[in-house]
Structure 1
């Protein structure tokens, strides 16, 4: 570019000289018209080289501009190639990194392969041994297959025989089913008869009120006593209770002798005592609980319960046993009488100096004499007393088997 500028300056200088010379020649030629032709020729000869030189310079300048344009185009192409080379280089670097990663994986795979090969070499003896075993098993399998074919032939023969037997068995089974149906019919009939017999036996061997579940008079059959009536109660404390003693304001006298208390007396519709021997026999069959229903003079109602009630036989004086106490009444007045024998005016079994049955005009399990006496005459003697005396207008004693299906509601 610097050379082109210098040549341009030189060209302009030469051109200026030519113009000055031409002007000088014109002035000369004006004075000498005759010399005009010569002047023209002289000017042409003088200017032509300069014009040729100018033409050459202009051609060179155009050529240089063309070269410069091509150079710029080449430079632009070079820059694009450079950017492309940079991108290719970056891609190459990434691929080189991936290649390194693959190389590491290959190296690791070679290590794993070497480890596997070592394991293979290690297990080769075992594998050979297993292969030998497999060969032996194949031989045995071939023998077994041959044996199986023989067995299959035998099975076909047996199956043929079995089919015949099945047909015979089916026919026999039908015969047996008919017989079984007949037997079932007989069995059902016998079962119904047995149920009727058991019902009759139950009636003959009833020892509690649980089967009845009502409040009415029913007949029990207890060993040693036989058939006798009892008053069942299912209202006071749930179903299944036998009333063994009842005071409901009647006119029945409880000042009775030993034999009468042993047998029992009174009316189930009013006051009564079931009888010591009956009570002993019933309570001896299984564990019983005792429920005592009390009504005070002012109408308050209480109960006392004992979980293991029984009385001994006559030879032991019908001694009373109670078990554990609970109930709505706080005081356990009956506890004083536990293990006491029964006393009447003609058989004194109490532990006092006199006869409590004479003093209280009633038979009872006296100690010396009583904290409670549910057989006493109405008035101050019919009471429940430990620390506080509770006078009563009604009293009932009920028993029921302890382990029954009936749950007590009170």
Structure 2
């Protein structure tokens, strides 16, 4: 609008200038007619641009009016759209409020969902535990079903037994009636027999007197038998002692013959042994003893072959003597251990022997019986090893050098009764190790008391 007003003012100013120019031109033309055509031509040249301009301005005014109409139309459309935008905004605000409400509901729903999920997890855990219980109960149910079948079969058997018992009862009832009839008959017979019994009692009294005399005679006979048995045992002992003087090969198998005794074994001749008839019964030869620890068992092969030590303390009888004795018949081995706390342990093998020197005096044991573990079994079939004769399975070391004693080493041992006092002198038991303070190894013929 301002541009249109400005154009109108400018048009008025141009018209005034045109009028002045025309007036001036008329005066000029009146003064000089000759110049009229020139004036006209000049006026035409002067006015033509203005007319063109006026046309242009009028066209612009017409266009501006058209534009104003368009603008008014646009303004009306704009107002409608504005109102529409307001309505949309109001709708949007309502929807935003609804969205917030829905959002709150969603959050609440998520919280409720989380609670439900927790409940579901708890339910799943309970279901799993119930499944496990159900599995256990199903297992128990199967067991109960098996037991029920067994009970049913037993019940059927019992029903059959009851039927049989019922039949037996009927039979017994009939039999009882028969017996009652017989009893009545027997009573009369018993009365008759009572009279006979009274007659017999007098005869029995006389027989009792005779039986007392017979018992006294039996006692006298038993005393004579005991005397004869004692005399027979004494004769057996005398015969054994006579035989042992000629060729004794083991300790006496009866009586209290503890102490030093002389044996005569083929290949060696006469030599002394220590007999023990108190520790495990009669007839035992002590082949090894450890007491007070004053005897060294770290000896060479020749010394172990011959034997060493004193019967009053520690000693080893000798590998060759043990071989010769155990080769005569079957011997058993008895091992007696006393630990530092005073507890005693006993071990027995029923077929003990060692081979000859050419085979390294290899160890054989037989069956085991004892109050501790069979730890000497680890050494069975092993040759004897000393620091100068390495017969063990350890390729890197000599077990006799390592443990300072001769023994039937494997790699190296689970029992070593010849080692110096300390951790090497031991017997491995289940879950513990026994460290003996006293050791005795004894042998005697198997089943010696039966001979």
TM-score for the superposition, normalised by structure 2: 0.45
More helix by share: 2
Q: Which has the higher contact order (CA 8 A, sep 6+)?
A: 1
TM-score for the superposition, normalised by structure 1: 0.50
